[in-house]
Every structure is written in C-alpha cells, then in structure tokens.
Amino acid sequence: MDTNGKIVLVDDEVMVTKTLSTLLKFEGLRDTVTFNNPEHALEYLKNNSCELIISDFIMPEMDGIEFLSRIKELPLQAETTQILLTGYADKENAIKAINEVGIFKYIEKPWNNDDLILNIKNAIERTNLKRALREKIIQLKKANTELEEYSKNLESLVQKRTKELWESREKLNAIFTNCADGIVTFKKDNLLVSLNQAACKLFGLEEKELLNKNFFELIINEKNQRIQNPFKLNEPLFLRDFSLINYKNDVKIPVEISLAKINDGSNPFVVGVLRDVSYQRENERLRDDFIATLTHDLRTPLLAAISGLDFILNGTLGETTQKQKELLEAMKKSNEDMLGLTNALLEVYRYEAGKIFLCKTRFSINELIKDCIKELDILFKQNGSNIEIDCNSDNIEINADKNEIRRVILNLLGNAIKHGGENTKINVCAKKTGKDLVLSVKDNGVGLSQDDQKKLFKRFSQGTSKKRSCSTGLGLYLSRRIVEAHNGTIWVESEPNKGSKFTFCLKSAALEDKVLL
C-alpha cells in the first residue's frame, strides 16, 4: 500500500486541526498542512497539489460541500481524494454530499482513530492509483497516436523495403550468375546445393547433374594435403595446388579455392569460389623454363672459366706471382659460388617441374652423417665448432635417395655452422621411430623469431629479417622439396638467442635390421 502523500486538513476549530495533525504525525504521516479558514486553503491548493483533503462539514465561512465542490474545479486537484468530517446530526447532508460532490468518505465526529488512519491511508493510495492510471492513459493515448501514424506509413514503408530487397536480391543474383569465377554453395554434408554458370562451365556439366554431389569428391588434391573442415573454422580457408576434372573435355583444370562459412541461424553453409589459374600456371611454367634454360646455359662458360683459372694456377701456362695467384684464387672462388647458385637454381626447377626422379637405395644413415661431417671438417675447425652425434642405434638403415638426403644434411650442418657463431655446439640426432626416420640438427646460436620461422622454408628466404645474408635463400627451400619428395616433413624449433633445432622425418623409410645367418 502506497501511503506517501501530502494531506491538507481544513477545520474552523484549532483544537481539531492540532489534535488530528498530531495523530497523523504519530502514525508517520508527517507531510500535513492545516488551515482553519477554507478560503486560505483554496488559495494554497490553487498552486500546490496534494493527495488527500480532509474538510469539516460545518464552517462559518463556507460549508464543507461548497469548499470541496470548488476544489474539484482546480486543475492540480483533479485526482485528489476528499474526506468529509461531520457530526451525527449532519449525516444525511453528508450522504447527499457524497452523491453530489463525489467525496471518498465521510467520517463522523467523534471518530475512531484506527478507522480514521485506515481510511486516510486508503484515500492516499486511491489518489496515487488514479494519478498512475492517468499517466498510463496518457502514455497509451500517445502510443496509440504513434501507432496510428506508423500504420499510415506502414504500407508505403513496406513497399519501399520490398523494392530495396528485390533490387538487392537482383544485384546478388546478377553477381552470382555472371561472376567470372565459379561459385558453389554446400551444407554440412558437403553436398552441392547451388552453382553458378562459371562453375558449371569449369566442370563441363549442367547444374542439375552437379547438384547433391560431394564437393570434395569433385576436386583433386595435387599434394595429398589434409583438408580442414570449413565448418569448424572461423576464418576463410584458401586452397592451392588443387585441380578439377572438366568432364566435357576430359582435362584437368588447376584451380585456387576460397571457402567461407556463412552462419544462417541453425543452417550454416559454405560458399566456395573456384578460380581457374591455367593461364597463371602456364606463365609460371614459361618463366621457370626461361630461368632454367638461362641457368643451364650459364654452367658451360662458368665451368670453362674455372678450368681456365685452374690451368693458370697450377702453372701449366707459366709461372705467376703471389699477388697474381691471390687475385686468380679470388676469381675462381667467385666463379665457383656462381656455379653453386646455378646448380641450386637448376635443382629447384627440377623439383618444381616434377622432373626429379629419386634413386632410392638401402644405406646406413649413421655412415652418411659421418661422411657429411668429414666433408665439412675444414669449416668445423675454422669455426671451432664442437659436434656430437646421437643415434639410438649403431646402424640405422633407410631406403631413400642417398645423394639427395646428403644434400639436406649438408645444408642443415652448414647453416648450424654459419649461424651458430664461433665455438658453437652442434648436436646431430638420428633415431628410428617405428618405420620412420627422424633426424635433427641442433645448435646454440642466435635462434629465430616466430615471424622468421613462418617464411623460413620458402624460396629466397635468408633466415632472418634482421641481418642480410650472402646466401641464395634456396638451401632450406630445396631441402623441403627433397624431404617432401620422400613423403616426409621438415620443421624448425627455435627461440631468439637460444639456438635452433631443424628436424626432418622420412615416413616409412627406416628398414628392419639385417639378420646375420
């Protein structure tokens, strides 16, 4: 019950107003204003709202009915509840006042205090409820007016939005239909639900022939990579080295594929964009063929220059001075470095063009590691490096291309010497894990940052972005291609200033130990 509110008490007898005011304060109703003259009360009520007016019936200036009737005309007192105090003899007139003026209650003198307080609290609550109802009615009228206004504009608004949606849909349909790249959509079961004209043209089939086909069964993974489920990814998935079959012409078309998940409530789907990269691949092939041809043609004059310098240095063409020998040695070293770069470029081209043929034989990886260390013995001594060999068997035999694996080990050892600094400690570890060979080369050199590690095995990457290197940037890239050609993987574990550990794993390359009879 909300009993908070202002009470105006009007009675010509001072004793009555004081007694009643004291009673109200005792009951916690302290916001009470008393008047002994109804005219004074009317002046006050013109400018001050209240929740309850209690008036005596018989007063010399004006009676209570006239007083309460005049209050009804005041705007601030429209919802104010009124109580009339009357003697027993005035009971009939009080009832008439209730009907004519519309007062809430009349209370006979002398009154019962408990009944009086209860009626006063009920009257205050009545006023508050009436005012709250009036506010709600005002709000309802305002909302109704706004609703009527909105209803008037609703039809035109719906027409406008419908037109915008139709235009937007037409634009999307035009983009989907006429896009030069193939566009497909499929749901969680990977079954195609729509294709545009370009996608149908790539496959050489009609849309109805491709619908409900498994998308991943229509594309060919050239490198047997594991394809991540696009529905489990929050970012778009980009696939390279894929092809699809054009069934009309029976040819393979190289494509690049972008897959993005679209969250459509409880029915997410994937949009795939297929881009024909035949033209780019042909340009890349022509470029690589040109570089390979140019590189191959450079080998002959380089070999001739090195041979000519050897003739001069060994005295075949006459004696040379010490200064001349130093200059000729420098020229020979420069030509040998250029020949090494040329050979590296040719090897890279052979792997990228698929023209490499592995010659696999059975050999001891332990012996190959020792041979590689012996070959680099001069570099180890010059650098003061300390090398350790750690193998879980005295003789691990594998089936692989010995010369190509030698190239990988030499490259990893050479990098460990180069980037490990003077007196570095190098550890070579080879172990057999089931049928797999795992070989690692670890140093305690400068190490690599995470950013440098991401691009380490790419072409022309020179290890670190902080320091320029005179290397070609092809060694680790070529090592990766060799390991991948053996159906293996290569990776690095490193932290700045804590050294690096390069590891490669050759799947199913380790052989069973020979049994001596």
Kindly tell me if the per-residue pLDDT of 454 is higher than 80. no
- Report pLDDT for 403: 87
Determine contact, residues 38/62, Cβ cutoff 8 Å: yes
Confidence band of 93 (pLDDT split at 50, 70, 90): low
Which amino acid belongs to residue 493? E
**pLDDT digit string (tens) for 457-502?**
876 555 555 544 445 567 788 888 889 888 899 999 988 888 889 9
**Ranked by mean pLDDT, which of 78-92, 324-338, 483-497 comes out on top?**
483-497
Q: How far apart are CA 61 and CA 196, in angstroms?
A: 95
Q: What is the pLDDT of residue 516?
A: 42
What pLDDT digit, counting tens, does each position of 10-33 carry? 998 999 889 888 988 888 888 899
pLDDT given for residue 470 in this prediction: 45
pLDDT band (50, 70, 90) for residue 62: confident
In this structure, are residues 210 and 200 in contact, taking their beta carbons and an 8 Å threshold? yes
Mean pLDDT, to the nearest integer, of 376-380? Answer: 80
Residue 55 makes CB contacts below 8 A (sequence gap 6+) with 10, 11, 38, 41, 64, 67, 68, 82, 83, 84, 85
Task: Tell me how far apart the alpha carbons of residues 65 and 57 are, in angstroms, rounded to a whole number.
Answer: 7
How many angstroms separate the Cα of 431 from the Cα of each of 364, 400, 427?
12, 15, 13
pLDDT band at 34 (very low <50, low <70, confident <90, very high): very high
Q: Which two tokens stand for residue 378?
A: 């001069």
CA distances to 203, 204, 245, 278, 513 from 249, in Å = 9, 7, 9, 15, 51
Can you tell me whether residue 84 is helix, strand or coil? strand
More confident residue, 337 or 272: 272
Instruction: With a cut of 50, say whether residue 515 has pLDDT above it.
Output: no
pLDDT at 369 over 80: yes
Higher pLDDT, 228 or 209: 209
CA distance 306 to 331: 9
Task: Show the tokens assigned to 158.
Answer: 């719906």
Per-residue pLDDT at 503 exceeds 90? yes
Which residue do the tokens 């590690």 mark?
453
More confident call, 296 vs 328? 328
> According to the model, what pLDDT value does residue 190 have?
87
Percent of the chain exceeding pLDDT 90 equals 13
pLDDT band at 441 (very low <50, low <70, confident <90, very high): very high
pLDDT at 306 over 60: yes
Residue 368: count of CB within 10 angstroms of its CB: 20
C-alpha distances (whole Å) from 101 to each of 66, 71, 83, 322 are 9, 10, 11, 135
Which of 369, 374, 375 has the alpha carbon at shortest distance from 395?
A: 369
Average the pLDDT over each of 58-67, 314-323, 488-497 and give the range with the smallest value. 314-323
Per-residue pLDDT, averaged over 1-16, amounts to 83
Residues in contact with 278: Cβ distance below 8 Å, sequence separation at least 6, in sequence order: 253, 254
Reported as a pLDDT band with limits 50, 70 and 90, residue 35 is very high
pLDDT at residue number 94? 64
What local confidence, expressed as pLDDT, does residue 225 receive? 67
Task: Place 446 in a pLDDT band, splitting at 50, 70 and 90.
Answer: confident
For residues 38-51, give the mean pLDDT: 91
Q: What is the pLDDT of residues 244-303, one digit of tens each?
A: 888 888 888 889 888 888 887 778 888 889 988 888 877 777 766 666 666 666 666 777
- Contact yes or no for 85/64 (Cβ under 8 A): yes
What is the pLDDT at residue 140? 92
Residue 399: pLDDT band by 50, 70, 90 thresholds? Answer: very high
**Terminus-to-terminus CA distance in the chain, angstroms?**
106
pLDDT tens-digit map of 104-149: 888 888 888 888 889 988 988 888 888 889 899 999 999 888 888 8
Any idea which of 340-349, 374-383, 502-511 has the lowest mean pLDDT?
A: 340-349
List the beta bridge partners of residue 120: none
> Would you place residue 405 in the very low, low, confident or very high pLDDT band (cuts 50, 70, 90)?
very high
User: What average pLDDT score do residues 429-438 get?
Assistant: 89
